[in-house]
Amino acid sequence: MKKKALSMATGAVLAMAMTASAFAAGGNAVALDQGKSENKIPVPLTAAATTFDVTVPTNFPGTLDPTTGKVTAADNAIITNNSYGSVKVSQIDVENADDWHLAAFATDMSKVQVDSNKIGLQVTPVGGKQGNGTTGTALPTTDASATKQTLLAEGGATAGEWIINGKDAADKSNQLTLKYDMNASAVSAAITNKTVANIIVTVAWNA
Amino acid sequence: MKFKEFLIKSGGVISSIALLGSMFTMSGAFYVPDAKYTCSVCGNEFSGLYRNPEPTTYQEYYSVGNIDGFSSISSSHVYSGTLLKIVFLNGKPICKDCLDKKIAEYKAANANSLSTPGVGNTPITVTADPSTFSVTVPTNVPLVINADGSVTAPTDVKIANGSAGSVQVSSIAMNNGDWSLTDYNGGNRSKLAEAKVDSKKLGLSLTAAGNAASTSKDGSQTPSIDVSKWTMAGGTELPITVGAIATANSAEAASEVTAANVVFTLAWV
C-alpha cells in the first residue's frame, strides 16, 4: 500500500515536472511621452522538437494473372502523416530481391522469356498536399539497373507532389496514397507471397 | 496835504481797505494749506486738500466694503477735485490714479459678489500636480511549443493600473521577431498544417474582457481593438488571455529566442 502511494506521488511529481509552463513577470510601464506610454514586450519562445509520426505501408503486394500476365496491385497503400508538421516523401528506391531483376516498367513482358524473373514498377502519388484525389506524376523503373533504381530523388522535378500536410489539415491532405503498378514476366510454376523487389520509401520533414 | 485832510478826503478808500483786510483775516481762519503726499505705488507726488465737513471714505466713494490693507487717514485731506479722503495702502499714501486701479482690480476679482438677490456663478478652482502615471505591464510573454505542436502560454499575464486615474490600452502592435507572425485563425491550426516545418510562423492572440487582439495576416500588424474593453480604472488590473499557434520544429530550439514583440501603448482615459 505504501509502495503504491509512493509510486502515485512520484508519478504526480514527474507529471508536473514534464508539463510545460510559462510565467509572465511584470514591470513598470515606461513614462508618458506626449500622453502615451509605449511598452515593447518581447515574446520569448522555447520549442521542443515536434514529434515525427508517419504511418507507411508494410508491403506492396501484387498478384500476377496467369492468363493475361497482368499484375494487380493493392489500392490501399497509404502514407498517413500523424505529425503536427508537414512531411514529404523525399526519396523512393526500388531494389530487386532474390533472383528477380528490375526492368523497365514499359517492357512488353509478352516478348520476354518465361521465368526470366523480370519485374517492372511504377509509383504515383495521389492526394497529399496536391489535393484529395489528385493524381501526380508516375515514376517508372527503367532498364538502367537490374538491382536498384531511384524513382524519386530529393529535390526532384515532381518532389512537390509528394508533400503530405500535418495532421490538423481539414481536407485529409495529411494522407497520400502511393499508387503502384507492376509488370512481371511470366512464370512456369506458381509462386506465393514471394518478395520479388523492395520499395524503399524515405519520409522526412517538409522543411 | 495834512494828515487830517488826507483822512477826510481818503476816508472811504481807507475804510474799504480796512474792511477788505478784516474780511481777508476772517476767511483765513478756515484755510489749511495743501498737503503733499508721495504715492507709495507709482512714486508720484500729489496734493491733499482740506475739506470740511467730513469728506467721503473710499468705501462710500467706490461702493465697496473694507479692503484689506486700505485705510483712510484721520485728517480731512481729500484728493484734488473730489471729496474722497486720502487713502493709505499698507500705511502709506496712494494717489488717486493708483487707487482707481487697485479698486478696479479688487472689483474684478470679486465680480461675482451679489449686490441684489440672484444667482451667482462661482467657479471652483483647483490647483493640482499632474497625477502620477503608474502602470505595471508584463516584462515578457513567454511561449513554449510542445512536441505535439501545441503552445503553452502564460496564464498570469495582466496589466495593473496603480495610478489614481483610469488608464487604457490605446493600441496593440504585434511585430515580427525571430519568427514571423501569421494568421491566428481563431486558434485553428489547419492553415499551418501545410506550412513547412521550421518555417517559424507564429499566430498570436491577446484577449481582455472578451475583446481579442489577434494576428490576422502575415507579418507585423496592429490589430484593431475595442479600447473600452482595454480600460482599467485606477487601482485595478486587466487580465489578458494569451493564445498562440506555431509551426512545427524539426529540432529542439537550442536556446530561447524572441519570436515576436508586442507593443502596448497606454494612455490616460
Query: Tens digit of pLDDT for each residue in A75-100?
Result: 889 999 999 999 999 999 999 999 99
Assess B131–A contact: CB distance below 8 Å, yes or no.
no
Assess B115–A contact: CB distance below 8 Å, yes or no.
no
Closest CA to A122 of A100, A108, A137, A134: A137
- Supply A88's cell numbers: 514529404
Q: Which residues of B touch A39 (CB under 8 A)?
A: 137, 263-266
The values of phi and psi at residue A164, to 5°, are -125, 120
Out of B143, B194, B259, name the one closest to residue A169 (CB): B194
What's residue A64's pLDDT? 87
Q: Which of A18, A84, A134 to mutate to test the interface with B (most CBs of B within 10 A)?
A: A84
The tally of CA atoms less than 13 A away on the side-chain side of residue B65 is: 5
Q: Is the pLDDT of residue B6 over 60?
A: no
Partnered with residue B185 across adjacent β-strands are none
Q: Which of B135, B194, B232, B242 to mutate to test the interface with A (most CBs of A within 10 A)?
A: B194
Number of residues that this document lists for chain A: 207
Pairwise CB contact (< 8 Å): B249 & A48: yes
Out of B149, B198, B259, name the one closest to residue A84 (CB): B149
Assess B232–A contact: CB distance below 8 Å, yes or no.
no
Residues near A156 by beta carbon (within 8 Å), at least 6 away in sequence: none
Pairwise CB contact (< 8 Å): A83 & B247: no
Residue for grid cell 512481371:
A184
Interatomic CA distance for residues A199 and A179, integer angstroms: 12
Q: Is the pLDDT of residue B38 over 70?
A: yes
Out of B256, B262, B263, name the one closest to residue A46 (CB): B256
Interatomic CA distance for residues B96 and B89, integer angstroms: 12
- Closest chain B CA to residue A204: B250
What's residue B194's pLDDT? 94
Q: Which of B140, B215, B238 to mutate to test the interface with A (most CBs of A within 10 A)?
A: B140
Pairwise CB contact (< 8 Å): B194 & A173: yes
pLDDT above 90 coverage of chain A, percent = 75
What's residue A65's pLDDT? 87
For chains A and B, CB pairs below 8 A equal: 211
Between vectors from CA B50 to CA B47 and to CA B56, what angle results, nearest 5°? 95
| pTM score | 0.68
Closest CA to B261 of A28, A20, A38, A32: A38
Interatomic CA distance for residues B174 and B141, integer angstroms: 12
* Strands (E) located in chain B: 35-38, 45-50, 70-72, 77-79, 87-89, 92-94, 135-138, 143-145, 151-152, 158-161, 167-176, 180-181, 201-208, 211-214, 231-232, 237-239, 241-246, 257-268
pLDDT above 70 coverage of chain A, percent = 88
3-state helix, strand, coil in chain B (%, to 5): 20, 30, 45
- CA quadruple A185, A188, A190, A195: dihedral sign: negative
What's residue B195's pLDDT? 96
Assess A39–B contact: CB distance below 8 Å, yes or no.
yes
Q: What ipTM was estimated for this complex?
A: 0.82
Q: Is the pLDDT of residue B12 over 80?
A: no
